[in-house]
Amino acid sequence: MILRALLITAAFLFSFIGLSSASYSDDLVIKDSANELKMFADPEMRQRYYGLIAELRCPKCQNQNLADSDAPIATDLRNELYLLINDNYSDTDILEFMESRYGEFVLYSPPVNSVTAVLWIIPTGLALLGFVIVAFIVSRNQESDEASDV
């Protein structure tokens, strides 16, 4: 009964989660390279660049990362990111720089602190609530099936 409820809840949750994040970053290389040609001395730097433009949000756009945005500010940020990577800044330094300049909004994955804790707790709480509801419904249905068999 509990296992069945867990499986139903897991299937429900996974239907809302995009599981193609690994292939998404590969698509960025093709998609963004059509708009801009960035030359890197090292393939690792190029990979870092595309990883960071997928991780940083455009300050002007509501829900687009720097790779997807055509806004002028996104172009400026991509150029600045390119310069920072070529100046051998670490990913952590770049993210801190962008956050200090544009605020936590620019980060798609904000850090866990007292302000953003709600963003991290609500999805977990809703998942647990969903599991409890599904478990309750499954157990109630099994009880009614057993009562009808008697």
Query: For residue 130, which of 28, 11, 47, 18 has the smallest C-alpha distance?
Result: 11
Which residue's entry shows tokens 């866990």?
112
**pLDDT, tens digit (0-9, with 9 covering 90-100), for 15-48:** 655 444 444 444 444 344 335 677 777 888 888 9
Residue 6 has pLDDT above 70, yes or no: no
What is the pLDDT averaged over residues 123-148? 88
Tell me the pLDDT tens digit for each residue of 44-77: 888 899 888 888 888 887 788 888 888 888 888 8
pTM for this one?
A: 0.53
Q: Across 23-32, 92-101, 105-114, 127-136, which has the greatest mean pLDDT?
A: 127-136
CATH number, domain 36-110, options 1.10.8.640, 3.40.50.2000, 1.10.10.10, 1.10.1200.10: 1.10.8.640
CB 115 within 8 A of CB 105: no
CB 134 within 8 A of CB 5: yes
